[in-house]
Amino acid sequence: DVVMTQSPLSLPVTLGQPASISCRSSQSLVFSDGNTYLSWFQQRPGQSPRRLIYKVSNRDSGVPDRFSGSGSGTDFTLKISRVEAEDVGVYYCMQGTHWPSSFGGGTKVEVK
Amino acid sequence: QVQLQESGPGLVKPSETLSLTCTVSGGSVYDGSYYWSWIRQSPEKGLEYIGYVYYSGSTRYSPSLKSRVTISIDTSKNQFSLKLSSVTAADTAVYYCARVPGVDILNFGMDVWGQGTTVIVSS
């Protein structure tokens, strides 16, 4: 299976400040069609995961534009330009290029 | 708006079969743009993809669970189901059903999730 490694494990952030989460895959996530199937999910406390970003950098409908995704190949990043209180939770990357799909271990974003 | 809801026993005895159903509302499992998946989450293993079923009934399972998993679909009831046999304590987890835009092995990311149901394996 493709191993997805996220860092950091925990990310204390001051409200209004930026945050950045790294995700690395053990294999390239570029598919033969030229697309890269890397998604980001947010899981707030007590809730199900929610997709924020798909295919590296495409934001889902309703997702604030302070969230952005970037990267290529095996290295990817989720950035929050200015953290708000509602952003507290655990963030996961997931690769959907290789079977089976696999998730990173998660990064917990908390307010300092 | 499409919604998914898991249902099934919250407690299963070791060596028995775990059975869960996901009911889809606001949309149809007969939509060929999606496949219908099961994912589980535990503190030990994190988020783990179990497999999916397509509206046609075709399935694909994670190799680590393939020998014990069956996912099926009932288009008349707008439901799909998970069966996991010979369970052990390691199968204790929150089980989610989800809708996945995708093609064959490609997973574009689960865009609708159920609320999740906790299953505990214990005698």
Best to test chain A binding among B66, B71, B94, B105 (most A CBs inside 10 Å): B105
The C-alpha of A13 sits at a distance from chain B's nearest C-alpha, in angstroms, of: 23
Is the peptide bond between A100 and the residue preceding it cis, with omega within 30 degrees of 0? yes
- Name A8's Cβ contacts closer than 8 Å, sequence gap at least 6: A21, A22, A107
* Two structure tokens written together for B46: 């994190």
Contact yes or no for A7/A104 (Cβ under 8 A): no
Residue of A nearest to B62 (CA): A100
pLDDT of residue B118: 98
A107 and B CB contact within 8 Å: no
Residue for token pair 């908390």: A110
pLDDT of residue A95: 97
Model confidence pLDDT, tens digit, residues B51-77:
999 999 999 999 999 999 999 999 999
- Residue B41 buriedness (CB in 10 A; 0-12 / 13-18 / 19+): buried
Tell me what percent of the residues of chain B surpass a pLDDT of 70: 100
B100 strand-pairing partners: B35
A101/B108 Cβ within 8 A = no
Helix, strand, coil percent values for chain A (each to nearest 5) = 5, 50, 45
* From B47, B106, B114, residue closest to A92, measured CB to CB: B47
Kindly report each contact of residues A33-36 with a partner whose C-beta sits within 8 Å and lies 24 or more positions away, as own/partner. Answer: A36/A72, A36/A73, A36/A97
B51: chain A residues, CB-CB within 8 Å = 100
